[in-house]
Amino acid sequence: MKVEWQYLLLLSVSIIFGIYYFHFGVIEVSAVHILFLLGGGILTAVAFIVTDLVGKPMEIGSLKASHFTLQTAIGNLVLGFPVLIGAPTVRIIQLKPTEILVATASEEFFRVGAAIWLGEMFGKGFGLVMSGIVFAAMHMFWYPEQWFFAIFGGVLLSGLLYMYESQTACILTHWWYDLLVLGWIAPSIFLTLSIIMGITGYILLRGEK
């Protein structure tokens, strides 16, 4: 699997700023999400080290626009489908979009780190299932009754990651979905943006062939 340098940069910067914000309280960051940030960094580093030791080193590449947009669009439309057909949203006033981004990014770093490590070491089938379980375990504290949907969401995001190999798209998909279900973005805007990204990704992919 190729790992985007943009993703690695985001991971490094997020760890630094996450610890800073947690300490000084400029943006609300929970201790749990700091652990997710650090855990994601550790898992990613372990994946690079272990795969190099066994003679199958992972590559560092650049974000591919066609894959990034397609992966984001497909993830958005599948995850957001219940809201798009009329399921209610829940507005949590105390959470700002920036705080939601910090939380979702930290969760994605940990899930993606698990998906990369487990997928490279034990096969993508195993990584797919286990990263979905890891994703659900992260949500058990806040939404224990939604464990099945959390596993489904984790498996979907990991499956798209294995298919299109855009770790950065995982973060954007999760963030946009949370903005949708928490009422920060209207379903019509969410749907429009997702369709535009999907069409753009398809056109770019066709142009590459």
Q: What is the pLDDT of residues 42-69, one digit of tens each?
A: 999 998 998 888 778 889 999 999 999 9
- Give the start-to-end residue ranges of the domains of the chain: 2-208
CB-hemisphere CA count at 13 Å for 132? 19
What pLDDT does residue 56 have?
80
**Ranges of H-type helices in the chain:** 5-24, 31-53, 65-79, 81-84, 97-122, 124-139, 147-164, 167-181, 187-208
What pLDDT does residue 94 have?
67
CA distances (Å), origin 79, targets 25, 36, 201: 31, 22, 18
How do the pLDDT tens digits run along the chain, 209 residues long?
Answer: 889 999 999 999 999 988 888 888 777 778 888 899 999 999 999 989 988 887 788 899 999 999 999 999 999 999 999 888 877 666 655 678 888 888 899 999 999 999 998 998 899 999 999 999 999 888 776 677 778 888 999 999 999 999 999 999 999 999 999 999 888 899 999 999 999 999 999 999 998 86
What pLDDT does residue 93 have?
54
What pLDDT does residue 131 have?
92
What pLDDT does residue 90 have?
66
- Answer for the pair 11, 171: CB distance below 8 angstroms, yes or no: no
- Answer for the pair 27, 99: CB distance below 8 angstroms, yes or no: yes
The token pair at 59 is 């590559």
**Euclidean distance between CA atoms 72 and 7, whole angstroms:** 14
